Amino acid sequence: MTDPISVLRDWLTAAVGEALPEQPTSPALDELEDTLNVPVPDDLRRYVRVIGPYLTRAEHGLFFGMSALPLDSGWGGELVQASADWPPVEAVEPPGTLRPVPFDPAWVLLAHDHGGAYLAADLRPGPAGQVGQIISCGPRETRRLQLAVSLTEFLTDLLWHAARGTVQVERGAGRLDVWFTDPEITHPIDLCLQRGAAALRRS
């Protein structure tokens, strides 16, 4: 089975022109695990170790055009405060997978669109969810979506779309971007809001 994190690393290496060394540990994830008493899945830890160094070097549109975020333990507290002014959550899809709260510090932010929409790894899911599931969040929408049951599944879906040609991978000028090839599709969360939470999953 193809390891999606290794493929992303190869794409990023080609884009920036050199292979960056892995981070040996992730103090921010360790702090999150200890402070909130939540488990951090192995694939999320490995993603931060392997891909994290590239994300501090430059901005990359890894997540269907959404910009990947380097791990920053300070964002959780800032967004908890900001989320007091966010609109209430009206729906969760599929039902029960997420807790219907505006934001939770156990959501590890992975990507954003610069307009109030985020992708996150959910370490404190709802009763029907899974630890490490990939979700949508942010003040832009009042619906919360489970986009994949894990980071590995989400990235495997991304590679599947690249192999099918529904997304294109652009490497150059020190930056990597993964875009939809259909000009009518401009945002992964919008696509899932229109077609259902599973719209990005391989069929």
> Are the C-beta atoms of 191 and 199 separated by less than 8 Å?
yes
**pLDDT the model gives residue 75:** 66
pLDDT of residue 18: 95
In this prediction the pTM is: 0.95
Residue 1 has pLDDT above 90, yes or no: no
Q: What is the mean pLDDT of the chain?
A: 93
Residue with tokens 């599944």: 153
pLDDT at residue 25, rounded to an integer: 81
Each residue's pLDDT tens digit, 49-93:
999 999 999 999 999 999 999 987 566 677 878 888 899 999 999
pLDDT range class, residue 128, cuts 50, 70, 90: very high
Question: 149 pLDDT exceeds 70?
Answer: yes
CB under 8 Å, gap of 24 or more: what pairs does 92-96 form?
A: 92/126, 92/143, 92/144, 92/145, 92/146, 93/143, 93/144, 93/145, 93/146, 93/196, 93/197, 94/128, 94/146, 94/197, 95/128, 96/126, 96/127, 96/128, 96/129
pLDDT at 180: 97
- pLDDT at 52 (0 to 100): 95
Picking from 41, 146, 44, the residue whose alpha carbon sits closest to that of residue 92 is: 146
Is the pLDDT assigned to residue 98 strictly greater than 90? yes
Question: pLDDT value at position 79?
Answer: 81
Confidence class of residue 126 from pLDDT cuts 50, 70 and 90? very high
Looking at the chain, the number of H-run helices and the number of E-run strands are 6, 8
